[in-house]
């Protein structure tokens, strides 16, 4: 009987593990996660190492080209970034990677920076709906990746009717870009204030695993 029970347990465990095995990320996905982690934690060395390998494995992947575009833009190489953006427009003109990159390039211009500053001013002075409208006009339906996306959805969360949508988007970004402690801190606070305590504690546990997030997690936990 004990052997039979053990076999049933083993079989059940095997069935539970099977989807996890099937869903194992590819090498490209793992490297892209490393790129996003490097961007979120400002580890340019990690970004460059991962990009080098990605460009050997899958150089025409729109997400890879977009990551190289962002890297060049951070380095101030506007011409190089524009070449990558042009290449991306040929490879995948309807992709989110291209649309997001196009918005990011716009934000690097004087007009784009001024429009972004206006949206931020509206957000910080309690005019969330006006701020979101300004962001939407600037982004043209394609928010950029990274900190600006976090900023946008954090502003959307200030609109009560859209808070749930914003939280879910911030959760998605957190899953895609682990290590962004600013995002995690804001997300945890939003979850607790929305009476989603179990999800909030899960984010705190995630924060506590990193040196950068441990102090922030403690403040929320004991605050």
What are the sequence ranges of the domains in the chain?
A: 24-107, 113-222
Cβ partners under 8 Å of residue 38, min gap 6: 44, 45, 46, 47, 50
pLDDT digits (tens, 9 = 90+) for 17-36: 444 444 567 988 899 989 98
pLDDT for res 143 = 83
Residue 145 C-alpha from the chain's centroid: 6
The secondary structure element, H or E, covering residue 27 is helix 27-40
pLDDT for res 23 = 55
pLDDT digits (tens, 9 = 90+) for 55-99: 999 999 999 999 999 999 999 999 999 999 999 999 999 999 999
Please answer whether residues 105 and 97 qualify as being in contact, where contact means their C-beta atoms are separated by less than 8 angstroms.
Answer: no
Q: How far apart are CA 46 and CA 44, in angstroms?
A: 5
Question: What would the two tokens of residue 199 be?
Answer: 């999800």
Q: How confident is the model at residue 221 (pLDDT cuts 50, 70, 90)?
A: confident
Question: What would the two tokens of residue 100 be?
Answer: 């997001």
Which residue is it, tokens 């729109």? 62
Handedness of CA 215, 217, 222, 223 (dihedral sign): positive
pLDDT for res 19 = 45
DSSP state letter for 39: H
Highest mean pLDDT out of 6-20, 52-66, 175-189: 52-66
Average pLDDT value over all residues in the chain: 87
pLDDT for res 24 = 65
Which one is predicted more confidently, 127 or 27?
127
pLDDT for res 40 = 84
CATH code for residues 113-222: 1.25.40
Q: How far apart are CA 80 and CA 127, in angstroms?
A: 37
pLDDT for res 37 = 87
Question: What would the two tokens of residue 60 be?
Answer: 């025409």
Number of other CB atoms surrounding residue 95 within 10 Å? 16
Fold of 24-107: 1.25.40
pLDDT for res 74 = 94
**pLDDT reading at 9 higher than 90:** no
The secondary structure element, H or E, covering residue 1 is none
Q: How far apart are CA 93 and CA 102, in angstroms?
A: 10
Q: How confident is the model at residue 210 (pLDDT cuts 50, 70, 90)?
A: confident
pLDDT digits (tens, 9 = 90+) for 136-154: 999 987 888 888 999 999 9
pLDDT for res 13 = 41
pLDDT for res 180 = 86
pLDDT for res 207 = 86
What is the average pLDDT across 98-126?
Answer: 95
Q: How far apart are CA 86 and CA 77, in angstroms?
A: 14
pLDDT for res 189 = 94
Q: How far apart are CA 35 and CA 31, in angstroms?
A: 6
* Identical topology for domains 24-107 and 113-222: yes
Please answer whether residues 122 and 131 qualify as being in contact, where contact means their C-beta atoms are separated by less than 8 angstroms.
Answer: yes
pLDDT digits (tens, 9 = 90+) for 163-177: 999 999 999 999 888
Angle at 167 between CA 162 and CA 171, to 5 degrees: 150
């Amino acid at each position: 009987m004990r052997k039979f029970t053990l076999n049933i347990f083993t079989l059940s465990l095997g069935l539970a593990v099977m989807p996890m095995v099937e869903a194992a990320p590819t090498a490209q996905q793992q490297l892209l996660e490393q790129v996003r982690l490097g961007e979120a934690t400002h580890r340019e060395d990690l970004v460059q190492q991962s990009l080098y390998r990605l460009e050997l494995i899958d150089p025409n992947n729109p997400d890879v080209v977009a990551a190289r575009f962002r890297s060049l833009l951070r380095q101030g190489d506007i011409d190089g970034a524009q070449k990558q953006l042009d290449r991306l427009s040929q490879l995948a003109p309807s992709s989110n990677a291209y649309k997001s990159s196009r918005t990011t390039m716009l934000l690097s211009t004087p007009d784009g920076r001024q429009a972004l500053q206006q949206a931020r001013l509206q957000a910080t002075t309690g005019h969330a709906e006006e701020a979101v409208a300004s962001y939407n006009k600037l982004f043209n339906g394609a928010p950029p990746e990274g900190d600006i996306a976090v900023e946008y959805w954090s502003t959307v969360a200030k609109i009560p009717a859209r808070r749930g949508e914003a939280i879910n988007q911030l959760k998605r970004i957190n899953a895609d870009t682990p290590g962004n402690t600013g995002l995690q801190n804001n997300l945890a606070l939003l979850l607790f204030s929305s009476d989603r305590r179990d999800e909030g504690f899960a984010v705190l546990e995630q924060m506590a695993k990193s040196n950068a997030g441990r102090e922030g997690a403690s403040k929320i936990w004991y605050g």
